Amino acid sequence: MSVPIGESEAHFALSSIERRRQQVIAEINVPPWYWFFLAGGWVLLGLLADFGPAWATIAATVLFGALHAGISSRVLSGRRGSPQLSIRGDLVTRRLPALVIGFLLVMTAVTVGIALVLNADGARHAATWASVAVALLVLVGGPALVGSVRRHAERTQG
């Protein structure tokens, strides 16, 4: 026995489904602490490059890379932006980790470029200033990059 559904009930049900879909898409994210971890590590490496011995800079770079490798496979999926929800893999582009790593490689080149320009200009502590500038770019650009992935998901899942 089926119960007939009125037009207004059907419209309400469809709009409710669309709201829930938008809520799920809004959960596509990289946890905010990840960007602060990167920015803090970036500044620490810049400080070590300017004020520490070469062996400490090398050791910290290797340690930072190892820590990043350990956590990135879990957080860069975009599927666990919050503890409340884990999103289906087919909703998030599989390119998100590659996009973030590519962004970080560009930020590395920007760090080196800024440091070289500052050093050529005679600035003291060029690596520190360059790392602070790029850390700010990471804090702004990282979430913006994930936001563009989220907008892409909205367009393709609609």
User: pLDDT at position 89, please?
Assistant: 58
The domain tally of the chain equals 1
For residue 6, the model assigns a pLDDT of 79
pLDDT in tens, 33-48: 999 999 999 999 999 9
The span from the CA of 59 to the CA of 63, in Å, is 6
Asked if residue 97 is part of any domain, the answer here is yes
| 2 lies in some domain | no
Predicted structure pTM score: 0.75
CB 132 within 8 A of CB 82: no
* Per-residue confidence (pLDDT) for residue 131, from 0 to 100: 96
**Does some domain include residue 83?**
yes
pLDDT value of residue 25: 60
Task: Enumerate the H helices of the chain as residue ranges.
Answer: 7-26, 32-51, 54-75, 96-120, 126-157
Determine whether 42 is exposed, middle or buried from the number of CB atoms within 10 Å of its CB (0-12, 13-18, 19+). Answer: buried
Mean pLDDT of the chain: 83
Distance CA 61, CA 102 (A): 18
Task: Give the pLDDT score at 36.
Answer: 95
Contacts of residue 118, defined as CB under 8 A and 6 or more positions apart, other chains included, come to 126, 129, 130
pLDDT beneath 50: ranges in the chain: none
Range of the domain at 77: 7-157
